[in-house]
Amino acid sequence: MKKIAFIGLGTMGTPMAKRLLKFGCKVNIFDISKEAQSKFTEENVIVSKSPEDACSEVDFCITMLPRSEDVYEAILGPNGAINSLKRKSLVIEMSTIYPETTKDIYNKLGSKDIHMIDAPVGRTPREAISGELLIIAGGNKENIRKAQPILKLMGNEIIHVGEICSGINMKLVNNYMSMVGMVMTAETILFAKKVGVDVDKAVNILQGTAAGKGQINVNFPKKVLAGDITPDFPLSMGLKDISLALKLGEKNKLPLNLGRISKEYFALAKKFKRESQDCTAMLHLIEEINNMKK
C-alpha cells in the first residue's frame, strides 16, 4: 500500500485525494480548512496537523493548492513538508503556479536529496471524480516513471512534456489560450447580438466554421505548421475583413478590443512583406516582430 501525503483539499484536490483512497492508498491529508478535512472519513486516511506532520514517513507528497505562495509555504515554510520528507521521496506538485516558484522549490528540495516533478492538471472537477484528468508532467524520466502508478489513479491521459517546469509552462500556455478565448468568445457573441443576429443561430453557425472549431484544430496544422504558407486566405484579406468587422462594431457602439489589437498585427504584414502569405503565416509574422526567427 502506497503511503502518500496530500496537501490541498479544494475543489480539485478533494476528489483527487478520494481517488487515491478508493484504490487502497494510505493517505495523510492536510488543508488549512477543517471543514475540507472533515469530508474524509475513510479508514485509510489520516488527518494531519500540518504539511510537516502529513509528510512524516511517506514516499510521495502531492500538493494541489490555489496560489504560488501557498505551495511555497506548504513545502518550504516553518511547518513545511521539507522538514519531514525522507531522502529519495518524491514531491508531485500539481497546482497551477508560477514556474519560477516551482524551480525554486525543486532546487531547495534537491539540496536535501528529495525529488520532485511538476504535474498540473487539465479538465474539471467532474473528471477529477471519475479519474479522467489530463496530467501534464515535467521532470526527469525516472521520477515520472515512479509517479506513474499514482498519476494513473487520478488521470487517464498523462503526457510527459519534458524536464522540470515544462509541465507548468505548458499548463500556462494552455490557460493563456483558454482565457483569451473566453474574452474573444464573449466579444463575438455580443457582436452578433449587437448587430441583430439571433444568438442561438450565431452559435450554431460558428460551431461549424474554422473560427468556432479553433485555428489550432483546423488551419494551423495543415498550413503553417506543415511548412505551407501559400495563401488559402492571405493576410491582406484578413486585414480587410477585420477592418470591416471593426467598422461595424464601431457603428453599433461596441468596442471590440481584441479585434483592435489583432488588426495591428494584420496591418504589419505589408511592412514585413507577408501580406500575400496565408493567414496562418501570422505565426511567422509575430516571430519576426519579436525577433524570434532563427
Average pLDDT, the chain: 97
HEC-encoded secondary structure of the chain = CCEEEEECCCCCHHHHHHHHHHCCCEEEEECCCHHHHCCCCCCCEEECCCHHHHCCCCCEEEECCCCHHHHHHHHHCCCCHHHCCCCCCEEEECCCCCHHHHHHHHHHHHCCCCEEEECCEECCHHHHHHCCEEEEEECCHHHHHHHHHHHHHHEEEEEEEECCCHHHHHHHHHHHHHHHHHHHHHHHHHHHHHCCCCHHHHHHHHCCCHHHHCCCCCCCCCCHHHCCCCCCCEHHHHHHHHHHHHHHHHHCCCCCHHHHHHHHHHHCCCCCCCCCCEHHHHHHHHHHHCCCCC
Q: Which of 126, 148, 164 is the last residue of a domain?
A: 164
Give the count of domains, the chain. Answer: 2
Per-residue pLDDT tens for 236-284?
Answer: 999 999 999 999 999 999 999 999 999 999 999 999 999 999 999 999 9
Q: Is the pLDDT of residue 1 over 70?
A: no
Q: Is the pLDDT of residue 10 over 90?
A: yes
Q: Which of 118, 137, 164 is the last residue of a domain?
A: 164
Q: What does the pLDDT read at residue 74?
A: 99
Q: Establish if 294 belongs to a structural domain.
A: no
Do residue 155 and residue 21 come from a single domain?
yes
Do residue 130 and residue 255 come from a single domain?
no
% of the chain beyond a pLDDT of 90: 98
Q: What does the pLDDT read at residue 2?
A: 79
Q: Annotated active-site positions, please?
A: 171
Q: Establish if 94 belongs to a structural domain.
A: yes
Q: Is the pLDDT of residue 184 over 70?
A: yes
Per-residue pLDDT tens for 36-69?
Answer: 999 999 999 999 999 999 999 999 999 999 999 9
Q: Is the pLDDT of residue 294 over 70?
A: no
Q: Establish if 68 belongs to a structural domain.
A: yes
Do residue 120 and residue 63 come from a single domain?
yes
Do residue 201 and residue 261 come from a single domain?
yes
Do residue 120 and residue 207 come from a single domain?
no
Q: What does the pLDDT read at residue 195?
A: 98
Q: Establish if 50 belongs to a structural domain.
A: yes
Q: What does the pLDDT read at residue 54?
A: 98
Do residue 55 and residue 131 come from a single domain?
yes
Q: Establish if 248 belongs to a structural domain.
A: yes
Q: Establish if 232 belongs to a structural domain.
A: yes
CATH of the domain at 248: 1.10.1040.10
Q: Is the pLDDT of residue 200 over 70?
A: yes
Q: What does the pLDDT read at residue 293?
A: 72
Q: What does the pLDDT read at residue 22?
A: 96
Question: For the residues 186-196, what does the mean pLDDT come to?
Answer: 98
Per-residue pLDDT tens for 61-108?
Answer: 999 999 999 999 999 999 999 999 999 999 999 999 999 999 999 999
Do residue 14 and residue 159 come from a single domain?
yes
Do residue 51 and residue 150 come from a single domain?
yes
Range of the domain at 284: 171-289
Q: Which of 134, 164, 194 is the last residue of a domain?
A: 164
Do residue 53 and residue 93 come from a single domain?
yes
CATH of the domain at 94: 3.40.50.720
% of the chain beyond a pLDDT of 70: 99
Q: Establish if 176 belongs to a structural domain.
A: yes
Q: Establish if 261 belongs to a structural domain.
A: yes
Q: How confident is the model at residue 292 (pLDDT cuts 50, 70, 90)?
A: confident
Q: How confident is the model at residue 222 (pLDDT cuts 50, 70, 90)?
A: very high
Per-residue pLDDT tens for 13-33?
Answer: 999 999 999 999 999 999 999
Do residue 134 and residue 35 come from a single domain?
yes
Q: What does the pLDDT read at residue 287?
A: 97
Do residue 156 and residue 99 come from a single domain?
yes
Do residue 103 and residue 7 come from a single domain?
yes
